[in-house]
Chain A
């Protein structure tokens, strides 16, 4: 069985630690991944802005890069949803029946990392240790497109030493929305401001999510306002063990607590 990591272009360039943590965690759980170097972008920005022809080209590229793998693991609910959601529509819109067949074949093999852990590997306790106060933002794609439900919470609650606190109004969008954050910067900023306020209300030192795009948005606001909340992809928390000890520069919690 061959397993590939589709790290996503955003993680590749801006959040390499997420990819590294995914590799490390999966290895600890007995899964060796390959990294096909020709991979690039899922095309979500193109698709969500309305450019289906360009999306179809990137879908074709995805199929070429990952077509031979049995499992493709993606540390992003949003990018991980693209093959199942958008590729068929993009293929249809350019009238490419061959591509349509190929993307339908590959889509079931694409796994968002969280559900791969809980559903495919059947684990919740992954041997993680993280003695910090953490809150979690369920991104819209993880909530609605990938329907992760309580999976991320189950994983987080099983982390040793964690002080987990629920985020108020968590199901509300952070305002990122890809090009929305630029095209409608004012509204996006207003939504994000409320989200950042809720994060601060929790007193958490770390904000976790399964999409670095949204974390980049919320973290950018927290940083602009001078609030030292660390944003981390969920897998970066799950990858840490007692051997790593606490995170540098982040307050350590007294005892394990789940709220």
Chain B
């Protein structure tokens, strides 16, 4: 008998005492963030800004027309000289920046990415309650390595992409795509349970919320 058959057989024998009906799952938890009226866009955006800020990221609300200057400022204040941009990113966003923009076509090697200071990306969705941006490798986001290896990440979030809590957002995502949920910059609490910012992922995260 294969290990597979042996394990499945043992499982069936182990739960034979239980009724076969599916266990009923209550779902009384909130769909949105506590204290936010569903559909209140302004409150949702404000909560998102607060929560991302608490993680130690820089967050700015920027009108769409000002994005090019905001992106340039975000990169300059981190002293970035090179930035990678994923396929599908609006070229206008980096147009005002004087540094070197690298496209990932053909795909940059890991070493080339390691030698790149920053990444500018869009996102697939965002969650206000947990201060999370979600990347799904869609247009303007690129493969996962792009938003991982460079030390500075500038991410543009459109207001309408922000859901107030995770249950509002998860249904919009396609799990067959590789998905990364980012809640603040890389961090660790492995030394005495004290939170320290910045280990292996990007240590500097700037989120630009635009409308």
Contact flag (A, B; Cβ within 8 A): no
